[in-house]
Structure 1
Amino acid sequence: MAPERKFAAPLEAVAADGRFCGYASLFGRMDLSGDVVMPGAFARTLRLRGARGVRMLLEHDPRAPVGVWLRLEEDRRGLWVEGRIAGSADAARAGALMRAGRLDGLSIGFRTVGADEDRLARVRRLTEIDLWEVSLVASPMLPEARARAAGRGRAEAGGVAPEAAVDAGLVALLRRETAILRQTR
């Protein structure tokens, strides 16, 4: 009997020349810490710093720069990134891990400038972010934030079945209802 497959085979995460792309953040999606990035949150940072002013790191380690961002922009779905791995032993290791399908997560490092917090639902809506870096990571806080080889379309790079996405509004409602139920006991 053949083994059961639960997930499709991963797409190649980096091109032969080290280029890759993907969504580092998706708007309206709750990450594993309860943060939801709102449209426009990156606008000021991108205007002031541009792609070259945001570092590319490995696992958020400031001692492990692994390349350069060629393009960072907000679109209707989130923060789209295009970058190139280059320049160090850490970069060579990251590229090898990406080619092997072992490293394809993207994660943002930032300082919160503006946010609305719903403490009852334990949700923080980030309205303005001072973006410092975007890291290549094995396990992103937003599971849908993934890298793909350069040249793949945005829909393919950020493609997640709608039913698999974490709906921030639904999670907030469930947390609120759970909190109310706990108070009535």
Structure 2
Amino acid sequence: MPQMDVRWQLKELSSSGYFLGYASVFATRDDHNEIVERGAFKKTLQRWQQRASAPAMLWMHDPSRPIGRWRTLAEDEVGLHAEGQLALRTCQGMEAYELLKLGAINGLSIGYRVVGSRYDAVRRARILSDVDLIEISLVTFPANPAARVRAVKEGQSRGAVLHAGIRALHRAACALSSSTRRTHVWYE
């Protein structure tokens, strides 16, 4: 049986994994013919705050692929402002971060249950006045075209060569973990 032990020490990541954007933008018709109105997230954000928790951060709405954590969620005049941090010590988190930095992906999408809504005959759309937010995903194609990542934070590195080596080792370990039965990656 193939086996690999990799030992490496992670002193500093040159990338923080932080990003921010709008998970939902008010008064914008989405691909499901729905429009979220200001205040729709107020109650659900209060409930999450009371639980000292936040909705899941997922990759493409897949509940088996959490990729990080939402640090701040708040309604402002534009929509649901979100600040998150990707889990860079995971294969999925690192992959998502690389794609964000490249601009290859920048969509955000909410998973929710409708609590309050009405049909607006003039706009021919369902108006969401109250939603129960379950998760927010990084996606390729958001239903709300204005729901996008607006900024990706990149930190500073003491040694670009060391960082490149650590990233290469991590990618190799991720690739090997799916092709071997036993792979051990030790973070020290």
> TM-score, normalising length from structure 2?
0.68
What is residue 67 of structure 2 aligned with on the other side? 66
Aligned pairs (5 A) from 1:32-51 = 32-50=31-49
- 1:104, 1:130 → 2: CA distance? 23
Q: Deviations over 1:50-105 (max 9, x none)?
A: 38321100000000000000000001111000000115221111111112211110
Alignment of 1:144-163 (within 5 A): 144-150=146-152
**What is the aligned-residue RMSD (CA, Å)?**
1.8
CA distance in 2, matches of 1:115, 1:125: 5
The answer to whether the Cα contact below 8 Å between 1:52 and 1:70 also exists between their aligned partners in 2 is: no
Structure 2 stretches of 5 or more lacking a match? 1-13, 154-188
Which of 110, 130, 133 in structure 1 is aligned with 2:132? 130
- Contact kept, 8 Å, 2:101 with 2:152, in 1: the verdict is no
1:109 aligns to what?
111
CA-to-partner distance for each residue in 1:98-138, whole Å, 9 max, x for gaps? Answer: 12211110000000000001368541000000000110001
Alignment partners' CA distance in 1, 2:36 and 2:120: 14
Q: Secondary structure at the match of 2:53?
A: helix
Amino acid at match of 2:36: V
Residues 1:16 and 2:18 are matched in the alignment: no
CA–CA distance in structure 2, aligned partners of residues 18 and 137 of structure 1: 16
Whole-angstrom CA distance in 2 between matches of 1:110 and 1:74: 16
Does the C-alpha gap of structure 1 residues 22 and 143 become closer, same or farther in structure 2, counting only changes over 3 Å?
same
Match of residue 31 from structure 1 = 30
Gaps of 5+ in 1: 1-14, 152-185
Task: Specify the alignment match of 2:53 in structure 1.
Answer: 52
CA contact (8 A) 2:74 2:80 kept: yes
Between the aligned partners of 1:91 and 1:120, the Cα distance in structure 2 is 43
Which one has the bigger strand percentage? 2
Instruction: Work out whether residues 26 and 78 of structure 1, in 8 Å CA contact, stay in contact via their aligned partners in 2.
Output: yes
Per-residue deviation, 1:17: 0.9
Structure 2 equivalent of residue 8 of structure 1: none
Partner of 1:5: none
- 1:148-171 CA-partner distances (Å, limit 9, x unpaired): 3256xxxxxxxxxxxxxxxxxxxx
CA contact (8 A) 2:100 2:152 kept: no
Specify the structure having the higher radius of gyration (Cα).
2
